[in-house]
Amino acid sequence: MAPFVQPSEAEKQRRRIVGVNAETVTDVGSTDFPGHYPGEDHSWDAEKFADTFQVNFHKNEKFNSSFSLVGIDAAVANAFRRIMIAEIPTVAIEYCFVMNNTSIIQDEVLCQRIGLVPFKGSPQGIREWLKWYKKPAEDAPKDDQFNTCFDYNTIRLTLNVECTRNPDAARGETDPHKAYHNAHVYAKDIKYEPFGRQHKYFSGEGAIAPAYPDILIAKMRPGQCIDIEMHAIKGVGSDHAKFSPVATASYRLLPVINITKPILGKDAEKFARCFPRGVIGLETVSEKEAKAGTPYEGHAGEKKAVVLDAMKDTVSRECLRHEEFKDKVKLGRIRDHFIFSVESTGQWESDELFLESINLLKAKCQKLKSALDDMNV
């Protein structure tokens, strides 16, 4: 077989770009498949992938991180994103037993709100020790309703608050916080009730508690009370969004701005205003650049538009709406440069979430592989 053809670097770069025009988007799909370009090798090679694939971090706060994956296909990047949203398990309240609720917020609405409160707790306890809760059989007798609840699959929580008048408040006080006790019910009022072996995993720093204590759950007035017992279980985002460990897990492609012909003087200023701040900068054309025969000939000392940081761009395409920039700029995005943004709800750390999504994808493959090996074909 003939040796493989190597495309030039310029050609490789050209292939990476998705064109963004005023009304159309071009070259959307990947073309890095065997047989697409005659004579070229595009077969999967883990070593080649390891050489070209890159990760760059932009931000790594505990619950909010941003990083770039460069040299990976959208199919795989999207798999990681989808797994982060819908398949990484977290603990959330699933069952509410309303003993008493005399507040004006209806039982079902209150329970729905409670279910959405994100919780934190010992990572080891939640991820390794805590198991999936299995629903009791549909036709199980009433006494057996909780025969599948164990310390290793159910977290018990209670919310018991009563609103009372504050006898120390000034006469005519209008601020409910001062006039009453417990006028506002917050997430921090939900108390964790460990049982069985749970104290081993969920005590001290690792106790189960709302990730954000100041989430407002309900408002009350003197004489009203709420008394609810809750069971939190492990679940996944594909079942209900409350189990999703991320507020957002998204990616965007790195924008490219290619200034093909000089944009000078007043036009350059206008051009810079077409983009978010910091994307386009103004530089003075030097004598050297303005040599005869170059596009800048005779423009020494004028301001020219240069691209400072394309990553900050939103690709609004505003610059394509103006006649004076016609044919002077080409917008695009890099098809295999994914700028991820992972914002956690507090049960997982953002960077761990991404690593866990990789683990889950791998585990999925592993399971299917053994199922395939067992298959009688």
Residues forming contacts to another protein in the complex (CB under 8 A) are: 30, 32-35, 42-44, 46, 49-50, 53-57, 60, 67, 69, 72-73, 75-76, 78-80, 82-83, 86-87, 351, 354-355, 358-359, 361-362, 364-377
User: Could you give the 3-state DSSP secondary structure of residue 264?
Assistant: strand
Q: Which is nearer to another protein, 73 or 162 (CB)?
A: 73
H or E element that contains 364: helix 350-374
CB of 19 to another protein, least distance (A): 22
Q: Which is nearer to another protein, 215 or 311 (CB)?
A: 311
Q: Which is nearer to another protein, 216 or 355 (CB)?
A: 355
Q: Which is nearer to another protein, 52 or 316 (CB)?
A: 52
Phi-psi region of 146 (alpha: psi -120 to 50; beta: other; left: phi over 0): alpha
CB of 196 to another protein, least distance (A): 22
b/e 238-260 (16+ beta carbons within 10 angstroms → b):
eeeebbbbbeebebebbbbbebe
Q: What is the DSSP secondary-structure string of 128-180?
A: II-----PPPTT--GGGGGTT--TTT-EEEEEEEE-EE-TTSPTT---HHHHE
User: Could you give the 3-state DSSP secondary structure of residue 109?
Assistant: helix
Q: Which is nearer to another protein, 58 or 266 (CB)?
A: 58
H or E element that contains 360: helix 350-374
CB of 69 to another protein, least distance (A): 7
Q: Which is nearer to another protein, 177 or 362 (CB)?
A: 362
CB of 311 to another protein, least distance (A): 16
CB of 238 to another protein, least distance (A): 8
Q: Which is nearer to another protein, 16 or 304 (CB)?
A: 16
CB of 248 to another protein, least distance (A): 17
CB of 79 to another protein, least distance (A): 4
Q: Rounded CA gap, 74 and 81, in Å?
A: 10
b/e 265-288 (16+ beta carbons within 10 angstroms → b):
eebbeebbebbeeebbebeebeee
